Amino acid sequence: MTTTSSAQHVRRGRVTFFVALAVFAQESTWNLYDSQVPPLLREHIGSAALIGLLMGMDNVLGIFIQPWMGNRSDRTRTSWGRRIPYLVVGMPVAALLFLVIPHVAASLPLLIVVMFGYALVANSFKPIAESLLPDFVPPERRSRANAVVKIAASLTVMFAALISIFLIDTHPKLSFAIPAILMVASLVVLAANVRDSRSPAYRSAVDEEREQPGAAAHGGRVRDTVLDIVRDSDRSRLLLIVAILLFGGAWAASRALITPYGMEVLRLSRGEAGGLTLPSGVAFILAAYPVARLAERFGRLRAMTVGMTVFAAGMVLATVIRSPAGVVTGLCVATAGASAFLVNAVVVLWNLAPSTRVVGTYTGLYTVGWVGGGFLGPAVVGGLVDLTGWSLLLLHVAVVALLAVVAVARVSALQRRSSASRAL
């Protein structure tokens, strides 16, 4: 390895760590939000469908905000780069709003207002932090780098579960304060160490704009990107976004409704039910990096298809073995399978992007699919629960996941027919 390539490897490793830190900061609040806000809503609302709708409603904001903010960051040029300025403003505001949630829980209208505010701000910078990764890491190494980021996100699942087990029943306000403080601390470390104006993608975008002066003003708008995807005769990008929406719905439903499921079906306390996801976080950590390496060797789309099928199988297993141990085992199997999708889906979309100038926009479109699923999934699955009972919750989740398998299988078929060389 040459001195230059060694230095680049070290720089990519440092950036991957700091991006993972930023994602950890964000997801530490989101995971506790998904785990412990539904019980707060249950104190006012009896319908599982309405709770699922409210838990998903915050994500509908992301459908409009995230691609726009990703595009804004693509087109921003500062001495700190195009991503960091937005994080410096957004993360402290989101932390403050998250901190307020348990203080207003006694009033349903105030709780909904604060939920809305938190979702508005947190969704606005979510794609920006994630876009730092493809800014620095080349396409062929993005799966393993994204695996590190996703492992950090998985640690927050464990973190939220530990808070649920040890703190939420006795110290609910402190439980929300800890992730908020961590978010601010992580931002300080990130801002002190990363300047994305030095990234290869940033420099490439600037060079491209110098060569094509009109590109910055007209070629990078969200509308142009969406129309390009919709009008493309190769439906790979569009089908991939559909698959992201479907699997995002399955994943969100399994997370947002698991605490009420544990309370209703397994007769656990709120804290015990919130801790059901703890072992699955370990399963993800063990699976994510090996899955990324296998995906880079055998194909990302193939890995995603197998992984989603395993996720559905885990949900079926948890339905059949209806006990705390059975549900935990099923969630572990499902999460290990889900790692193949969570690590590789956005990487495939990044690698399908036609230019480094629109990487942030593509991250936003990924999150449109993901939060769209987060909005629809809990509501649809919650509605099915209202019809069939809580005992079949995880089986409904499995059906939604299998629909995503069909969409990715179609993308694989299209790519096999294509002569284009892509890192998929």
3-class DSSP state of 137: coil
Report whether pLDDT(63) > 60. yes
In this predicted structure, which of 120-124, 179-183, 277-281, 385-389 has the lowest mean pLDDT? 277-281
Q: Tens digit of pLDDT for each residue in 191-223?
A: 888 878 778 778 877 777 777 665 554 446 788
Query: pLDDT-based confidence at 402, cuts 50/70/90?
Result: very high
Please state, rounded to an integer, the average pLDDT across all residues of the chain: 85
pTM, to two decimals: 0.77
Give me 265's structure tokens. 């079906």
Percent of the chain with pLDDT over 90: 30
Report whether pLDDT(6) > 90. no
Q: 278: which residues sit within 8 A by CB, 6+ positions away?
A: 157, 158, 161, 162, 165
Question: Tell me, what's the pLDDT at 303?
Answer: 94
Please give the DSSP secondary-structure letter assigned to residue 196.
G
Question: Tell me, what's the pLDDT at 419?
Answer: 53
Domains of the chain: 14-192+218-417 (1.20.1250.20)
Asked if residues 177 and 103 have their Cβ atoms less than 8 Å apart, the reply is no
Q: Tens digit of pLDDT for each residue in 152-175?
A: 877 776 777 788 778 887 788 888
Q: Tens digit of pLDDT for each residue in 245-294?
A: 999 999 989 988 888 898 888 988 877 887 787 788 788 889 999 999 99
- Comparing CA positions, the residue from 270, 265, 276 lying closest to residue 392 is 265
Average pLDDT estimate for 305-322: 95
Q: Who wins on pLDDT, 188 or 203?
A: 188
| Cβ atoms within 10 Å, residue 329 | 18
| Cβ atoms within 10 Å, residue 386 | 14
User: How long a stretch of residues is the chain?
Assistant: 424
Give me 83's structure tokens. 């991503």
Average pLDDT estimate for 332-340: 94
